[in-house]
Amino acid sequence: MESFVVNGGKKLQGTITVNGSKNAAVGLLAASVVNHGKTTLKNVPNIEEVDRWCEVLESIGMVVEKNSQEKTVVLTRPEKLALEKIDKDAAQKTRSIILLLGSLVGQEEQYSIPQAGGCKLGSRTVRPHLFALENFGIKINTAQTKYVVDAKDFHHAEKAVLYEMGDTVTENAILAAAQTNQKESTIRFASANYMVQDLCFFLQKCGVDVEGIGTSTIKIKGKERIKKDVVYTITEDPIEAMFFVAIAATTNSQITIKGVPINFMELELLRLEKMGFQYTITKEYLSQNKESRLVDITTHKSTLIAPEEKIHPQPYPGINIDNLPFFVPIASVAKGRTLIHDWVYENRAVYYPEVNRLGTKVTLLDPHRAYVEGPQKFTPAHMTCPPALRPAAVILVAMLAAKGESVLRDVYTIKRGYENLEERLEEIGAHIKLIKE
């Protein structure tokens, strides 16, 4: 077990750079299965979630060459996948493994994959995925520990209306549509979020016709066999960018955050600006993949005021669902009462009062809503990571603001989504160590 020891309450300064996106990376790793050519992914974060995916892909016969120093993963698939040898332990540690449902529909007539794991956020139904793939003639039965898929009648979907505007649901539908034989599928009520856009840009490089990227209606003319050597650079992670912004706001520090994908952060920054958060921003420039617009943000010391309106997420271009939790520690240093409405997940908001052990005043109203009273003075504590990535990261943010020594135990959950945090945060003045217990 690994733990963080944090000596918090320090003013931070310096520059920190945003890494490639976790959620985009796993979508592209799933997409590598549909490409019979060589897939080279760049700007891949060195995180546990990616490691689990590499283990799964290797277990079914993919050749995976991972260079952590250069942040690249090169994937080559065999002519026939060995799905019966799939690494169940690795697969069950990540919810995103459900993306294999869509990436395998054009590869196998019948197959099964382990049921998804990942964050514990209450009842996260897979029914929208099953409904999405029904449009492509796919029949899926849910067994006790696996999903059993019948893809013998796989075909294009003239019109696939998604049951919910979910990111991975949309990706599964896109992966299926990409494998139809020169037939056009239309996906409606699609997510336009960053990982969906990255997947679409990647498939375009593979020779798949994709229209409507960044909108809620995506049209795809698939290919029966995709075979192309492709190099793609993953976009920067807006959720990691928000994590650093939250640290700056909560510790009232001046830091520079480089490589912020501004097209996926504009509303979050506007909300913070209206709360009194001060920052300067550079002129936009393109990311390495030439698709995302990046900026560098320098934060400044600020006096925050709670907003009159509730803070809640929406599908893109609204406040990102995974960025919402970071408003909890931010609201804790704002004068007044903030209503956080986390309507997407049944049980994510129940983790928010955990930060009360660090001196905050969070009142859970129901499984979706919480009041945050501020300003509060953070105090140190010894805690164990909750089994959910973003609530765990929120606790770490609060610990960095709490004067004195805090310990956050069993940080595998955080390492699923954030790379070498202790080293990167130390570079901007944080006192944080990773220890083995």
| Residue 155 structural domain | 22-233
CATH of the domain at 422: 3.65.10.10
> Is 225 in the same domain as 327?
no
Which residue is listed with tokens 């909560």?
A: 250
> Is 286 in the same domain as 181?
no
> Which of 178, 203, 233 delimits the end of a domain?
233
Output the CA torsion 158→211→189→269 (10° steps).
Answer: 170
User: Whole-number mean pLDDT of the chain?
Assistant: 95
Task: Report the DSSP pairing between strands 209-211 and 382-384.
Answer: unpaired
> Is 267 in the same domain as 353?
yes
> Is 46 in the same domain as 33?
yes
- Give pLDDT tens digits for 329-362: 999 999 999 999 999 987 899 999 999 999 999 9
> Is 392 in the same domain as 316?
yes
- Give pLDDT tens digits for 124-140: 568 899 999 999 999 99
The total of other beta-carbon atoms located within 10 Å of residue 16's CB is: 21
> Is 228 in the same domain as 240?
no
Of 59, 62, 81, 84, nearest to 73 (Cα)? Answer: 62
Give the pLDDT confidence score for residue 126 in this predicted structure: 83
> Is 14 in the same domain as 28?
no
Query: Residue 5 — very low, low, confident or very high, per pLDDT cuts 50/70/90?
Result: very high
Q: Which two tokens stand for residue 95?
A: 């919810």
> Is 14 in the same domain as 119?
no
Helix H segments across 206-348?
238-251, 266-274, 327-332
Give the pLDDT confidence score for residue 122 in this predicted structure: 45
> Is 193 in the same domain as 304?
no
Distance, CA of 84 to CA of 378 (rounded, Å):
50
> Is 203 in the same domain as 174?
yes
State the number of CA atoms in the 13 A half-sphere of 89 facing the CB: 2
> Which of 233, 249, 266 delimits the end of a domain?
233
> Is 354 in the same domain as 423?
yes
Look at the pTM and tell me if it is higher than 0.75.
Answer: yes
First-to-last CA distance in the chain?
5
Residue 19 phi/psi, 5-degree rounding, is -85, 175
- Give pLDDT tens digits for 83-96: 999 999 999 888 89
Give the pLDDT confidence score for residue 117 in this predicted structure: 59
What is the total count of domains within the chain?
A: 2
Which residue is listed with tokens 């007044």?
A: 336
> Is 307 in the same domain as 200?
no
Q: Which two tokens stand for residue 295?
A: 């900026």
Distance, CA of 46 to CA of 66 (rounded, Å):
10
Give the pLDDT confidence score for residue 283 in this predicted structure: 97
Of 345, 347, 245, nearest to 297 (Cα)? Answer: 245
> Which of 216, 233, 250 delimits the end of a domain?
233
